[in-house]
């Protein structure tokens, strides 16, 4: 293996180790959608996504969490049974 290739491989590994990433991707997306000018047409959607797969969503028109994966179904059941969490949304 030539010296520049070995250098770039080592540099890549060092940057990966110290970048703080564990290889997983999680994000939360909160949206307000509206279909009319009055307040009755507004819909709040709060989505939880892990590795590009949405696993749970709160929809204000439904008024509860909906799970889309096995993990999301367990969380939705737990969060829907807690009035404090639903009140925050």
CA atoms within 13 A on the CB side of 7: 3
Answer yes or no: is 3 within a domain: no
Answer yes or no: is 17 within a domain: no
Predicted confidence (pLDDT) per residue in 33-72, tens digit:
888 777 778 888 999 998 888 999 998 888 999 999 999 9
Number of structural domains the chain divides into: 1
Residue numbers of the domain that contains 66: 22-87
What's the CATH number where 27 sits? Answer: 3.10.320.10
10 Å CB burial of residue 39 (0-12, 13-18, 19+) is exposed
> What is the per-residue DSSP string for 39-50?
GGGEEEEEEEEE
Answer yes or no: is 33 within a domain: yes
- pTM for the full model? 0.65
The pLDDT value given to residue 3? 62
The pLDDT value given to residue 57? 94
């Amino acid at each position: 293996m030539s010296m520049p290739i070995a250098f770039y491989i080592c540099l890549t590994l060092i940057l990966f180790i110290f970048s703080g990433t564990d290889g997983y991707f999680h994000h939360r997306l909160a949206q307000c959608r509206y279909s009319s000018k009055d307040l009755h047409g507004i819909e709040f959607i709060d989505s939880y996504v892990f590795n590009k797969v949405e696993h749970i969503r709160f929809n204000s028109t439904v008024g509860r969490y909906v799970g889309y994966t096995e993990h999301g179904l367990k969380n939705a059941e737990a969060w829907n049974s807690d009035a404090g969490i639903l009140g925050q949304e």
